[in-house]
Structure 1
Amino acid sequence: MLDGAECRRLLGTASVGRIAFTEGAMPTIQPASYALRGDDVVIPTGLGSKMAAGSRGAVLAFEVDEYDLVERTGWSVTVIGPSRLVIDPGQVAALDALGVHPWLPTTTHGYIALHMTVVSGRRITSP
Structure 2
Amino acid sequence: MTSTTNNDAYWDTPGALRASDALTPSECWALATTQSTGRLGFFREGLLDIFPVSYLVLDERLYFRTSPDGVIATSDLSRVAFQVDQVNQQARTGWSVLANGPATPVEDEALLTRLWGRTMDEPLAPGRRDRFYSLAPVRLRGRRVGTAR
- TM-score when scaled to structure 2? 0.76
Higher relative helix content: 1
Aligned match of 1:18 in 24, 39, 44?
Answer: 39
Higher relative strand content: 1
Mapped contact 2:40–2:83 kept (Cα < 8 A): yes
Pairwise CA distance, 1:86 = 2.4
> Which of the pair has more CA radius of gyration?
2
Counterpart secondary structure, 1:125: strand
- Partner Cα separation in structure 1 for residue 25 and residue 128 of structure 2: 36
Q: Which residue in the other structure is 1:66 paired with?
A: 86
- TM-score when scaled to structure 1? 0.88
Q: How many residue pairs align between the two structures? A: 126
- What is the percent sequence identity of the aligned residues? 29
Pairwise CA distance, 1:91 = 4.6
- Partner Cα separation in structure 2 for residue 118 and residue 91 of structure 1: 23
Mapped contact 1:21–1:55 kept (Cα < 8 A): yes
Counterpart secondary structure, 1:14: coil
Mapped contact 2:65–2:129 kept (Cα < 8 A): no
What is the RMSD of the two structures over their aligned residues, measured on CA atoms?
Answer: 1.9
Pairwise CA distance, 1:66 = 0.3
Q: Which residue in the other structure is 2:24 paired with?
A: 3
Please say if 1:117 is aligned against 2:117.
no
